[in-house]
Structures are given as structure tokens and as C-alpha cells.
Amino acid sequence: MQRFEGYRALVTGAGSGIGAAVARRLAAEGAAVLVTDVDADRAEEVAAGISADGGTAAGFGCDVSEPESVASAVGAVVERFGGLDTLVNNAYAGNPETVLLEDSREDEWLGAFDVTLHGAYRCCRAAMPHLAAAGGRGAIVNIGSVNGEQDFGGHAYSAAKAALAGLTRTLAVDSAERGVRVNLVAPGTVDTPSWKGRPQALVRAAGHYPLGRVGRPEDIAAAVAFLASADAGWITGVTLPVDGGVLIGNLAMRRDLGPDRD
């Protein structure tokens, strides 16, 4: 299915994990994708893989904590592909693990917000005129987290993701008359390179998910593609959990309190 034939997309933090999967999914459905990452080499590698598979993509180094870098990335997608229809804000910073608040460092707190929230703000601000000129198909999809909806640890990470959900709602209303939809996907635990070296943690995490496994980057990419497409043309301002059911119940408590099962 080529839902994005003729679309132009920019994906941040797309050098690996969820961002890379999103870039590949959009390209597989016909979009021309600017793959951006703070590590330009990784962005180029992902873009080269998309091109090798027959898609249209280019890599670009972008540090979303720098307004000039964001402006350059938006300018690059418009110049290279002729416009911008889809923005996916995936770049983030912050450790989802919790430390005692008094042991946390202020620079880490501010850094989490500067990339996760302020970076998305910078990208939306730079991209909005182009998205508004996209003839009603402009869409922003922000990548949040279940941490922004419920306690799973990580003070700065969770607070920044919750704030991103708030920005999603206000921007959705503000941009609706300009033909731009804004939504957020909230993943649960996803097997990405951020979990490298901790395979047993993912095994333990899987036991808390009603669907019996942690997520794959492709699970999130599928949801992003839906929200960015015309199939979601009457959806804006929502937070879509893609979380294996973890937000709807406490599986560990259910098992502890329920009847014994052989």
C-alpha cells in the first residue's frame, strides 16, 4: 500500500531504533524521507539502506537542541524533495530509570527537556509553514512514552514526555484551521539499542505486558504511519498508546491475587 506516494517526510532521531523503523516504513509506503540524527553517519547509513531497498531517502545531521541545525534540516527536506508533508519528532534525551531526586543532576534534567520537548518545539516551529502549505495533508506525529501517562520511573524523562503530550494537544487545536494534524504515539517498552547489554531486563519486562512481549520498533512505526496518513484524516490531538496493554492493567498484581493456575 502506497499511502505516502508524493509525500515528503522528516524524521528526527532516525539513526537507529524507532526513528529508523519509522523512516523505513514511510519510505516503503512511498514517501521521500529526510533521515536526521545527531550522528550524521548513522543517518546516512539508514538512508542508504532505504535507497538500496528501492526507496527515496537522504541522510542529514541534525541536533534538535540547536535552532540553526533544525532550520537547516527543514530547509534541506524542502530543497531536496520540494516540500514537507510529515514531521516525526522522535529525538529524545533522558534516562527512564529513576534515581533519588536529590541525587539527580540539573544538567541532565535540563538536557532531557532541551531535546525531548524543546527539540520537538523547534522542529514544529520551523516546519509549520511548510506543513500548512501541504494542501491539507500536513501532519506531525510526536513520539511520547507510557512514562508520560503513568509512573514507570525516570523523573526528567517522564516529565518531558508528559509535556510533549501537552504540546501535542495545544498545537493540534492551534494548527487545525491550517490543515495540519498533530498526534502522539506513546510506546511501552521497545527493544531498541538503548537496551543494549540488558537482555534479561527485556525478558523480565515482557512478563508485565498483557500481550506477553515487549514492543518492536516496527510496532511503533506502523502506528506512526497510520496517524500520518489520510486514514487518520479526522484524528488530531490524541495520544495513542502502543504498549501491549500495559496501561490498562497491573498484570503482576492480577497474577498475585488471582486463582492459582496450572
CB-based contacts of 84: which residues, under 8 Å, 6+ apart? 8, 9, 10, 74, 77, 78, 127, 130, 131, 134, 138
Count of C-beta atoms within a 10 Å radius of residue 180: 26
Identify whether 256 is part of a domain: no
Identify whether 261 is part of a domain: no
Torsion on CA atoms 196, 198, 199, 202, rounded to nearest 10 = -100
Identify whether 252 is part of a domain: no
pLDDT-based confidence at 260, cuts 50/70/90?
Answer: low
Structural domains in the chain (count):
1
Identify whether 225 is part of a domain: yes
Range of the domain at 31: 8-196+216-245
Identify whether 254 is part of a domain: no
- Please give the backbone phi and psi of residue 200, each rounded to the nearest 5 degrees, phi first: -70, -30
Q: C-alpha grid cell for residue 259? A: 486463582
- The pLDDT mean for the chain works out to 95
Nearest CA to 230 out of 84, 133, 86 is that of: 86
Three-state secondary structure call for residue 54: coil
Q: C-alpha grid cell for residue 179? A: 490543515
What is the predicted pLDDT for the residue at 261? 53
Identify whether 253 is part of a domain: no
- pLDDT (tens digit, 9 = 90+) per residue, 166-225? 999 999 999 999 999 999 999 999 999 988 888 898 999 999 999 999 999 999 999 999
- pLDDT (tens digit, 9 = 90+) per residue, 228-245? 999 999 999 999 999 999
| Residues 124, 171 contacting (CB under 8 angstroms) | yes
Give the mean model confidence (pLDDT) for residues 8-35.
Answer: 98
- Catalytic residue annotation: 157
On the question of pLDDT at 39 being above 90, the answer is yes
Identify whether 47 is part of a domain: yes
Query: What's the CATH code of the domain at 30?
Result: 3.40.50.720
Identify whether 85 is part of a domain: yes
Strand positions, DSSP E, the chain: 8-11, 32-37, 56-61, 86-89, 138-143, 180-187, 239-242
On the question of pLDDT at 26 being above 60, the answer is yes
What is the predicted pLDDT for the residue at 229? 98
On the question of pLDDT at 255 being above 60, the answer is yes
What is the predicted pLDDT for the residue at 96? 66
